[in-house]
Amino acid sequence: MYKILISDKLAEAGINYLNDQDGIHIHIQTGLKEDELCQIIGEYDALLIRSDTKVTEKVLKAATKLKVVGRAGIGVDNVDIAAATEQGIIVMNTPDANATTTAELAIAHMLSLSRHLPAADRSIRAGKWERSKLMGSEVAHKTLAILGFGTIGRIASQRGLGLGMEVIAYDPFVTPEIFERYGVQSVDLEELVKRADYLTLHCPLIEKTKGIIGSAQMAMMKKEAMIINCARGGLIDEAALYDALKNNRIAGAALDVFEHEPPVNSPLLELDNIVFTPHLGASTAEAQVAVSVEIARQAVIYLKTGEAVNALNLPRLSAEQLKKASQYMGLANILGKVLAGLATQPLERIEVALFGKAAEVDVRPVSIEALVGVLSGKVSTPVNRVNAEKIAKRQGISLVESKTEETHDFLSLVKVTGFFGNESVSLSGTLLGERRPRLVQVDQFEVEVVPEGTLIFTRHDDKPGVISSISSVLGESNINISRMEVGGANNELAMAVISISEPLNDDLLAQLCDIPAVHRAAQVIL
């Protein structure tokens, strides 16, 4: 008999599902403080929560029988995932259960903006009849531009196509085949904002997407364009949005999320050409039922079969397994991160090969860790060894694995190759003393690089003066070079891998690319 504690309110359908399962006993007790939860959590095999319960390290240490924490919803800020992993406890969520609800809210906002529905309602309530003032526009034959083409963006695209719209999207981590499958044209960010009649955001808030729609992007947009954000506050520069709306550089906007929630004293509240909702993306009866039933189903599956659906971490590995594979897994993770930094287009296929002594371990955890390195920070869901392959498939990335005891100049070698478009990048790494990772080959260029910190990779003409020019650009900006490796494959091309004291901004990286003999420069931060 498995015992499940439900410490936040779940929809009745989820409770009924659990009650119908053989071998499952549930107890519902909400509003528990940390000490109260610690006193009882040791009895339970699973804990199901929403956002109110705080699953702290203290709680997890007291959870001596706990096998899984299930979050009905997406956000897991209230769970100490690192502490859960340390205790061998799976943490899972329901990332897709409210995707339809969020996509439909974005479409509702689009239609509301197009027909001035909030203003029309206020007008009628004020005793007015302003039909000419409230002239709207059709969405049919207009361009719906989607920033972020994950699950929610894909659902929104199908709703837009159903309304007779032209749908375009920007997502640098989605392959052309995925766009083609959904009947959506893939464009770059500049074309996206220029062509948009309605720009709807559905991407994660990470460092690279913070303020992704700012004054520069709004300046490119049509005067008739409208912006909708039901994703995350912070994707839009709200000061720039205020300026664009106030000066009629764009026609309107709708926000369900904000930089600060609630948006008390925001100047946006003063404007008439913007509408608001209080973070209602998942607030439908259907979504509440869906997340409750889904997390109940996932918890039961894990308790009865060990299958971890939508897990955000890993169960505890045996000491023997960890000792045997962990160093190669760490090396593969590093190679994956470097690959993600060097790929110039969305990756379509990744091949992981183990040679020599590395082939003595199971290739699967090593290859999955390479995927973790590639995907980390590129998608909204935290990526780990449990969910990496599923996320890769969703992004259109296939995985090929192989191993052989043959050696390639090294006792052990891990090779990770990424394919995109008509190009590929191949990286080989080894362990010195079976523990110190080294990058030893990039494509045809042999190097010996300590893979840590900030690395600059250049491909350049193999001739005198190039390294001096690169060093001058860095030196003039007070960027210290701590290590440099230069590899030559033939008499024409060479590669430099330069370890520097701090990351370069876009302008400095562009200066390196502008050196006539430099064909390509990329930055990788490890």
Tell me if residue 116 is catalytic. Answer: no
Q: Are strands 90-92 and 68-71 parallel, antiparallel or unpaired?
A: parallel
* Residues shown for the chain: 526
Instruction: Sort strands 445-449 and 481-488 into parallel, antiparallel or unpaired.
Output: unpaired
Alpha helices in 363-414 (DSSP H): 363-375, 388-394
Q: Write down the catalytic residue from 232, 385, 459, 460.
A: 232
Q: What stretches of 53-150 show up as alpha helix (H) in DSSP?
A: 57-62, 81-86, 99-115, 117-125
**Mean pLDDT within 216-245:** 96
Helix or strand or coil: residue 441?
A: strand
Q: Counting Cβ atoms within 10 Å, is residue 462 exposed (0-12), middle (13-18) or buried (19+)?
A: middle
User: In this model, does residue 196 exceed pLDDT 60?
Assistant: yes
Sort strands 2-6 and 46-49 into parallel, antiparallel or unpaired: parallel
Query: Bigger pLDDT: 70 or 491?
Result: 70
Query: Which of 475, 473, 484, 482 lies closest to 501 in space, CA to CA?
Result: 482
CB 464 within 8 Å of CB 506: no
Catalytic residue among 12, 43, 190, 261: 261
Decide: residue 189, CB within 10 A, 0-12 exposed, 13-18 middle, 19+ buried. middle
Q: For the sheet containing 2-6, what is the strand order?
A: 24-28, 2-6, 46-49, 68-71, 90-92
| 260 part of the active site | no
Query: Look-up: residue for tokens 């209080």?
Result: 278
Give alpha helix (H) positions in 409-478. 466-476
Cis bond leading into 315, ω under 30°? no
pLDDT tier for residue 73 given thresholds of 50, 70 and 90:
confident
pLDDT average, residue stretch 207-226: 95
Q: Distance between CA atoms of 494 and 208, rounded to whole angstroms?
A: 30
Give pLDDT, residue 141: 97
Nearby residues of 370 by Cβ (< 8 Å), 6 or more positions away: 332, 333, 335, 336, 339, 350, 352, 416
279 carries an active-site annotation = yes
Residue 419 belongs to what H/E stretch? strand 412-420
Across residues 66-81, what is the average pLDDT? 89
If 0-12 CB within 10 Å is exposed, 13-18 middle and 19+ buried, where does residue 514 land? Answer: exposed
Q: What is the pLDDT of residue 308?
A: 81
Rounded distance between C-alpha atoms, residue 163 and residue 139, angstroms? 7
pLDDT tens digits along 386-412: 778 888 988 999 999 999 988 878 899
In this prediction, residue 364 carries a pLDDT of 87
Q: CB-based contacts of 13: which residues, under 8 Å, 6+ apart?
A: 289, 292, 293
The pLDDT, as a whole number, for residue 390 is: 82
Of 336-340, 417-421, 438-442, 485-489, minimum mean pLDDT range: 485-489
Of 211-225, 304-318, 439-453, the range with the lowest mean pLDDT is: 304-318
Q: What percent of the chain has pLDDT over 70?
A: 98
pLDDT single digits (tens) 107-150: 999 999 999 999 999 999 999 999 989 999 999 999 999 999 99
Non-local (6+) Cβ contacts of 97 within 8 A are 73, 287, 290, 291, 294
**Rounded distance between C-alpha atoms, residue 178 and residue 184, angstroms:** 9
Q: Residue 69: is its pLDDT beyond 70?
A: yes
Note the pLDDT of residue 207: 83
Look-up: residue for tokens 């899984």? Answer: 68
pLDDT (mean) for 220-248: 96
The rounded distance, in Å, linking the Cα atoms of 474 and 366 is 36
Tokens of 523: 């930055």
Question: Collapsing DSSP states into helix, strand and coil, what is residue 333?
Answer: helix
Copy the structure tokens of residue 44: 């339970």
Tokens of 360: 């003595």
Among residues 115, 279, 297, 438, which one is catalytic?
279
